[in-house]
Chain A
Amino acid sequence: MSEHGHHDHDHPHEPVAGDDGPAATRARALEELLVEKGVVEREDVRRNIDWLVSRSPGDGARLVARAWVDPDFKERLLADARAAASELGLDAGPSPVVVAVENTESVHHMVVCTLCSCYPRALLGPPPDWYKSLPYRSRAVSDPRGVLEEFGLELGEDVELRVLDSTADIRYLVIPRRPEGTADLDEEELAALVTRDSMIGVAEPLAPASAAA
């Protein structure tokens, strides 16, 4: 920290309480100011955080599973993800707009936010740490196939890879390809195959056998 820059570290410091870094301190100071100035109420902050962290990839997985079993629903999901989500009782969130894209035999989408960490939190919960990391954010654009290989996904040469950079008000949700051998599964069993990473487009859904584990 800069306030420590003016002296030599030849004496012990008090241990820092908790795991608060400078960013946490700044966030807390901002919250204090916003509350003090009446911009937000503390209760709103708490309620919003509660709601966001209560979301999970299971919500997005329900959407995907329904799209797999119901082609008409899939069309509605692709046309207007917010409206489709509300059919399943899911809230796509206050603002940014959610756009669903579909992976097929010939086209594969993967999502990144090169500028920060934009992510469809309302449908997938908080983003994984790697999604927010600088290496992913830069390499998803400069070497996307290399990134996918590191996630264990080797795309065929004939598959067109599309990288979606969610730079602005849109959040992207990938509808992955339905795995082979799932014709007999019901919607709930299918949803169990849909992983978070498959909805970011860096992995395929689970194979039916591994989901049983």
Chain B
Amino acid sequence: MTFAVGDRVRVADRAHAGHHRTPGYVKGRRGRIERIHGSFTNPETRAYGSDGLPEVVLYQVAFELEPARTYVDVYEHWLEEVR
């Protein structure tokens, strides 16, 4: 696993044509790893008939949004390190 609870991360700000589970309102935003959910099959390939392997780690990331702290589950390949 690349990230540990408490790490600062940034969600990749990239377009993705096709099914994916990273909501637009957190793309490009910084957050903090709150929880490590474990490894799951990749919905981006599973949606198109694949077995979704290799599995990817799913993190719960906390974002300090203006109205309220919001927790979003984000797969590892959407997260970037923040130094």
Contacts and interface: CB of A to CB of B under 8 A. Distances in A.
Interface of A: 97, 99, 114-115, 141-145, 160-170
B37 A141 contact: no
B74 interface: yes
B23 A161 contact: no
Given A141-B70, A160-B69, A170-B73, 8 more contacts: A115-B23, A141-B65, A145-B67, A164-B70, A165-B23, A167-B21, A168-B73, A170-B58
Given A144-B68, A163-B68, A170 B21 contact: no
A166 B73 contact: yes
B71 A164 contact: yes
Contacts of A97: 37-38
A201 to B, nearest CB: 12
A161 to B, nearest CB: 4
B55 to A, nearest CB: 10
Given A141-B65, A170-B60, A165 B70 contact: yes
B28 interface: no
Given A168-B40, A168-B43, A163 B60 contact: no
Interface in B1-55: 21-23, 25, 37-38, 40, 43
13 contacts: A141-B65, A162-B69, A163-B68, A163-B69, A164-B70, A165-B72, A165-B73, A167-B21, A167-B22, A168-B21, A168-B58, A169-B37, A170-B37
A160 B73 CA distance: 20
Contact of A143 (B25, B67, B75): B67
A155 to B, nearest CB: 10
Interface majority SS (helix, strand, loop, mixed), chain B = strand
A79 B58 CA distance: 17
Q: How large, as a class, is the contact surface on chain B?
A: 20 to 34
B72 A167 contact: yes
Nearest to B19: A115
Q: Most B CB atoms within 10 A — which of A97, A143, A170?
A: A170
A99 B40 CA distance: 15
The 3 A-B residue pairs with the shortest CB-CB distance, nearest first, are: A168-B73, A161-B68, A163-B70
A141 B71 CA distance: 10
A141 B60 CA distance: 16
Contact of A145 (B60, B68, B71): B68
A125 to B, nearest CB: 22
A161 B21 CA distance: 23
A115 to B, nearest CB: 6
Contacts of A142: 67
